[in-house]
Amino acid sequence: MTPKYPHIKVRLVGEDGNAFAIIGRVRKAMRDAGLTNPEMTEFICQATKGDYNHLLRTVMEWVEVE
């Protein structure tokens, strides 16, 4: 499956696995790539609607995970 923003790459392996840390890394990568606040807000709303596994699936749907 190709993520919504395949040009945005976020490293998760070997990093802090805390949900807030993951969201922060993805949000920073999105901001650095020039995404708008509404796009980032949509990601955060979607990512936080479920459990930790839902968060990880959402991240992989939105960005390229390394």
Is residue 9 within 8 Å of 63, Cβ to Cβ? yes
Cα–Cα distances (Å) from 38 to 25, 35, 51, in that order, read 17, 8, 22
pTM of the model: 0.92
Which pLDDT score is estimated for 9? 97
Which pLDDT score is estimated for 4? 97
Cα–Cα distances (Å) from 23 to 39, 45, in that order, read 13, 11
Taking 90 as the threshold, does the pLDDT of residue 1 lie above it? no
d(CA 55, CA 61): 10
Which pLDDT score is estimated for 14? 82
Backbone region of residue 16 per phi and psi (left: phi > 0; alpha: psi in -120 to 50; beta: other values) = beta
pLDDT digits (tens, 9 = 90+) for 6-55: 999 999 988 888 999 999 999 999 999 999 999 999 999 999 999 999 99
